[in-house]
Amino acid sequence: MIIDVSAWTGPWPALVNVPYDVASVRSSLRAYGVERVFMAPLGAAWSANPHLCNPVVYEAAEKYGDIGPVPVIDPTLPTWPAALSKATGHHAVRMIKLLPGYGKYDLAGADELFEEAGRASLVVMVQIRIDDPRRHHPMAQVPDVPARDVVEAAKRHPDLKLVMGGASAATLKGFVEELRGLPGLYADTSQVDGVDSVKMLVDAGIGGKLLFGSHAPVFMPAAAMARVLTDLQEDAAVGIMNDNAAGLLRA
């Protein structure tokens, strides 16, 4: 079974003629053998209140048993405790997502949320980037969230499971030691571009910390699959495509 930890649904400025509704994204992933989809609301990135965008993934989980909702929570909003409570009380939620690059907040200010998520045994994905900077509109430049901030959060909260979402290959190569040494720190492969990039990370000893992420519909599922399957031995590929996420997310 292939588990995708980083799919989305909803509109995105760079998407042209790419269907982004729940059914279309799910279908595009199932065509490549993905049987478990963890889906977040893409519209939350540009929303003044990301919590209002979460119903679409909760509804998706009620309609499709293979979709795990990944609500976006903003720790700067006064409603974050209620949004987190809804997530912890939902039978299908295993992970929540933070978008500090779009909410313009520092992860040090999310410590209370991290503590509560850890107590609830929720995984937290911190999105380093959503889109390739080369595709950003000139009037909407969003810099990457510093990966060091995620690493420091993992150090402050050793009992919390944290995932660096959308980090580039170069970024992850710079934090191999931390990924190896911090038991609760993981990364997805959704933006690990470049020849042999995933293989180099596996060879560096962090294959057990990598989780398959398609980043659909922002990116094509085929490219996400190829970057994992092309150059890896079967056991390493199975770990990334299934085993690591299955253990982390109880999927």
Q: Is 6 left (phi over 0), alpha (psi -120 to 50) or beta?
A: beta
Provide the CATH number for the domain formed by 2-249 in this structure. Answer: 3.20.20.140
User: Tens-digit pLDDT profile for the chain (251 aa)?
Assistant: 999 999 999 998 877 789 999 999 999 999 999 999 999 999 999 999 999 999 999 999 999 999 999 999 999 999 999 999 999 999 999 999 999 999 999 999 999 999 999 999 999 999 999 987 676 567 667 789 999 999 999 999 999 999 999 999 999 999 999 999 999 999 999 999 888 999 999 999 999 999 999 999 999 999 999 999 988 999 999 999 999 999 999 86
Strand order across the 2-9 sheet = 2-9, 34-41, 67-69
User: Which candidate, 21, 150, 165, places its Cα nearest to that of 95?
Assistant: 165
pTM attached to this predicted model: 0.96
Structure tokens that stand for 177 in this block: 């030691």
Compute the distance between CA of residue 190 and CA of residue 203 in angstroms, rounded to an integer: 18
Q: In the chain, what are the domain boundaries? A: 2-249
Compute the distance between CA of residue 48 and CA of residue 54 in angstroms, rounded to an integer: 13
DSSP 3-state of 182: coil
Contact between residue 69 and residue 92 where contact means Cβ atoms under 8 Å apart: yes
